[in-house]
Structure 1
Amino acid sequence: MSTVNRYLSRSLVTESFHDKTVLQEIWGESWGAPTDIGRIKKVMMHRPGKEILKLHNNAQQIESGTVLDRNIKGATPEDYQNTRLPNLDLLQTQHDQLAQVLSNEGIDIVYLEGQSEDWPERIFTRDLGMVIPGGVILSRLALYIRHGEIPFASQTFSQAGIPMLGCIQGDGFAEGAASPC
């Protein structure tokens, strides 16, 4: 019996959403990460572009900056006084080298969709979703400077065929997860 015929039934689904066979047959891959450790198969990345040139502003302008300063060992006010622009050429070279190493290890790279210079922190793709067995849950980022990145993530996950199992809504915030799939 073909895979498609197996699903031509009005019977109730009995398998969990993260059943590896169903994921493989319906979504094309067994998506998700069952643990925080193990071999990475895919990773979402964003190659730094001109948007990162907006990151030179004083880091203490971030609302949570002073709260973090009190709680991060080794942070000093001088750490936040650097106003030099990031070296875009160096960042792109380092990104390309990292992408090559990952590729050499057999890890597929999914690049974050969207061509906008409005969201300077898009390089932090680990924050955009929480990968769990069966797919990804989209984040809702707490700072306005990150707010517009989620549509890019949603588009990227969709185009890659990754099941989006849900998203953080209402007054909730979640970020700082891992982006391997």
Structure 2
Amino acid sequence: MLYAPFSLTTPPRYWHYSYKANLSAPVTPSSPALEWQDKDGKIALAARPAAGTFELGRRTNILVLASPYLSFDWQQNSTAQVGDVELVLGFRRQDQGDWGESDLGAGKPTTDHTLRIPVGSSQVTYGQWHREYFDLAGIYRRYWSDAENDEIRLVWIGITSGKDKPAAVTSITYLTQILLSR
């Protein structure tokens, strides 16, 4: 999903980007909330939540059983905290024939369940890349066990600024290689 840079002002089809500047911050970061950077030889998205609230994501229509694993790489600088940036997964329960072309349109799709996963760890070595793996079918069974696995679709994957606490002005979280696999 995040493997090559694209324009954030005019994202590709099926992508959605929203941003609201933090005008009340005592010190405004000199860089934008989201920007592509070459970080340690990787093309990564640099997220600065102190610059403002943001959400960047992509519509999908993926049967959880067909691509049950999600992975991504992240790195934080020394002022970033767990949850400054969150991964957002949107799930919808639907039968194979229960979706149409409008489900593949622009903007965020409707979801039955949304899961926000804080990016980061308090036990990290700053400046090193870390890889996270998630079993999507297992996550869905854990939180919504009443649904049949062959009805569950991942319809949204995104990243957003954390909502639980303000981030430090110099906080940067880098994300790259968000991949779905079997």
TM-score range, shorter chain: under 0.3
Q: Which has the larger radius of gyration?
A: 1
Task: State the TM-score, normalized to the length of structure 2.
Answer: 0.22
Structure having the higher helix fraction is 1
Structure having the higher strand fraction is 2
Q: Which of 1 and 2 has higher RCO (CA within 8 Å, sep 6+)? A: 2
Task: State the TM-score, normalized to the length of structure 1.
Answer: 0.22
